[in-house]
Amino acid sequence: MKQLLDCTDILIVSPFYLGYLWAADKFCKKFLGASKSRERLFLILSFCGWLFWNILGRLSFSLYIFSVLLQPIFFIGLVMLLFRSDREKRILAASMLVAVRLAADFCASFLSCLELVFLHTVKKIPEPFSKDWVIGLISGVGYCFAILAVCWMSKRLEPVFCGKREKWYVILAVPLLVIVTVYEVASLGASNGIMVRSGGSVGLYYDQLFSHAEFLVLDLLSMAAVGFYVFGMNRIYLEQEKSSRYHSQIAVYKMLAEQYRQSERLRHDMKNHIIALSALSRNKEWEKIDGYLKNMEDIALDAGGDMTGNTAVDALLYQKRRLAEEENIKWECDVQMPKGCCINEFDLCVLFGNILDNALEACGRMQRSECRFINIQAKTVKKCFLLEVKNSMDRMEKYAEGFTHKGDSQKHGIGLLNVGDVVNKYNGAVNAEAEGDIFVISILIPFPGEK
């Protein structure tokens, strides 16, 4: 009962824990979304639950075990209940917020070691003990470290929460929960803060020191496992999506090139077709004329395409121009492919295709349709191939590190990653930037043997 009444450490930690909850609320709001009333309810219930579990754990050691195991479950339940977005994404967000508390424990264990060393070596106390207010202050600083970790995650984890499949979020969340559970179970061996007991051979000071050191190692390994897993899985996902999108684009470009070659043959034989149709017309064989025209229609392309000298690029530009015309997007194209171009035609299509897909998407999101345009320039500049594409964009959108702030930014990012891979393959350079309401991407690829 005395421990229950003495809550000095809880009072000191409380404002720090509220700060952690505020950071967690902002994290969830960014990636999940919630109303103001639900945000306030999350803060109130989370804080009250934390107080309840801490007070309950002081009644007995068995209740302490019970509170340690149920507190993360209660927190995850609140995130699932009060925030929006897909269920799988909520599970992942809650798991990350529970896992980030490892950072608070790591910092607290490190500071506890420093305090014990200070009391023993400087204050000359043989068997030092931390006072309640010091324990509270150390725990509070640990939560400050956790707040910084949550803020860092808010900036770094946007690619993880954007554009993934639902099952992927679950696959990512389950190992995080397993790591945290294993850590909590191991922590229960601390038993009043001491994990390693020497049987009195080295003294209580070294018992405590070794205990906190063991916590440091456990925390460090757990945080490393979480970090490597999250960012490693995200990297694997991006590589798979890049490969899948690249191969699907190659299949489409092959089909477009074949269609374009058929249209070229059709235009080449147009004189013969006209002669044949004239003969059928004179004989009034209307059904045959109708069938003949339908056969021509299946492979016909208009003659107004952008002629670059590369069949695959011509076919791609033709398709994208048609899409732009359907959306009333002004199309300006001046592409002069160098003779004997060193770039593989499919790599060219990856460059043009991904860039133009992003340009069409950006124009499609604009409210003012009369201002939408796409300008494509490609030519030889100082023994280098230069490709520059400008397109209009919504002034409210922001571009940063390959991602635009839109509903499905992951697809945009994967497209630019594929562009970057092709540019790196040919030792080129790429630059992308937003200038007001105009997005500009420039690619410079040197010819072989040139520097």
Q: Same structural domain for residues 313 and 240?
A: no
In a domain, 256, yes or no: no
Cα separation, 171 vs 443, whole angstroms: 37
The residues with which 149 forms a beta bridge, in sequence order, are none
| Structural domain boundaries, residue 140 | 2-245
| pLDDT of amino acid 144 | 92
Q: Same structural domain for residues 163 and 14?
A: yes
User: Which residue type sits at 296?
Assistant: M
Q: Same structural domain for residues 182 and 59?
A: yes
Q: Same structural domain for residues 42 and 168?
A: yes
In a domain, 266, yes or no: no
Q: Comparing C-alpha atoms, which of 215, 197, 218, 216 is closest to residue 206? A: 197
Whether residue 376 contacts residue 335, with contact meaning beta carbons closer than 8 Å, is answered with yes
How many domains is the chain built from?
2
Whether residue 195 contacts residue 215, with contact meaning beta carbons closer than 8 Å, is answered with yes
| pLDDT of amino acid 350 | 81
Cα separation, 304 vs 325, whole angstroms: 12
Q: Which of 245, 264, 290 is the last residue in one of the domains?
A: 245
Q: Which of 204, 221, 245 is the last residue in one of the domains?
A: 245
In a domain, 282, yes or no: no
Q: Same structural domain for residues 330 and 220?
A: no
Q: Same structural domain for residues 241 and 314?
A: no
What residues contact 203, with CB distance under 8 A and at least 6 apart? 126, 127
Cα separation, 200 vs 237, whole angstroms: 52
Q: Same structural domain for residues 367 and 239?
A: no
Matching residue, tokens 């075990």: 65
In a domain, 414, yes or no: yes
Give the up-direction half-sphere exposure of residue 238: CA atoms within 13 A in the CB hemisphere.
21
Whether residue 378 contacts residue 387, with contact meaning beta carbons closer than 8 Å, is answered with yes
Matching residue, tokens 């421990």: 3
Kindly report the number of other CB atoms within 10 A of residue 20's CB atom.
26
Whether residue 314 contacts residue 351, with contact meaning beta carbons closer than 8 Å, is answered with no
In a domain, 272, yes or no: no
In a domain, 288, yes or no: no
In a domain, 261, yes or no: no
CATH number for the domain that contains residue 386: 3.30.565.10
In a domain, 152, yes or no: yes
436 burial class (0-12, 13-18, 19+ CB within 10 angstroms)? exposed
Q: Same structural domain for residues 131 and 223?
A: yes
294 sits in the region (left: phi over 0; alpha: psi -120 to 50; else beta) called: alpha
Q: Same structural domain for residues 225 and 111?
A: yes
What residues contact 251, with CB distance under 8 A and at least 6 apart? none
Structure pTM? 0.62
What residues contact 341, with CB distance under 8 A and at least 6 apart? 310, 348, 385
| pLDDT of amino acid 218 | 82
Token duo for residue 404: 């635009």
Q: Same structural domain for residues 356 and 211?
A: no
The residues with which 194 forms a beta bridge, in sequence order, are none
Q: Which of 229, 245, 261 is the last residue in one of the domains?
A: 245
What residues contact 376, with CB distance under 8 A and at least 6 apart? 317, 332, 333, 334, 335, 352, 356, 387, 388, 389
Taking the chain (451 residues) in runs of 10, the rounded mean pLDDT of each run is: 56 90 91 85 91 81 78 90 87 90 87 85 80 84 92 84 78 87 73 49 70 81 86 79 66 64 63 73 78 65 57 79 88 83 78 88 80 90 88 71 44 69 87 86 82 50
Q: Are strands 330-335 and 373-380 parallel, antiparallel or unpaired?
A: parallel
| pLDDT of amino acid 36 | 85
